[in-house]
Amino acid sequence: MARLYPLFSSSKGNSSFIGTEKGGILIDCGVSFRRLCNALEVNNIPLEAIQGVFITHEHSDHIAGLAMLTKKTGLPVYGQKRTLQRLCDGGKIAVNSHVIDITGKTISCGGSEVSCFNTPHDAIQSCGYRIHTEDDKYCAVCTDLGHVTPEVDEALKGCRMVLIESNYDDYMLRTGPYPFYLKERILSPIGHLSNDDCTVQVRKMIERGTTHILLGHLSQDNNHPQMADSTVQRGLSGFTRGRDYLLGVAPVETKGGAVVF
- Residue pLDDT, tens place only, 161-210: 999 999 999 999 999 999 999 999 999 999 999 999 999 999 999 999 99
Mean of per-residue pLDDT scores for the chain: 98
- Residue 1 clears pLDDT 90, i.e. is over it: no
**Are the beta carbons of 137 and 108 closer than 8 angstroms?**
no
Residue 235: what pLDDT? 98
CATH code for the domain defined by 3-251 = 3.60.15.10
Nearest Cα neighbor of 114 from 98, 97, 94, 134 is: 134
pLDDT, average across residues 130-140: 97
Q: ∠ at Cα 183 (155, 6), nearest 5°? A: 45
Residue 252 Cα to chain centre, angstroms: 12
Domain ranges of the chain: 3-251
- Residue 52 clears pLDDT 90, i.e. is over it: yes
Between CA 249 and CA 172 the distance in angstroms is 18
Residue 64: what pLDDT? 98
Nearest Cα neighbor of 260 from 92, 135, 107, 120 is: 135
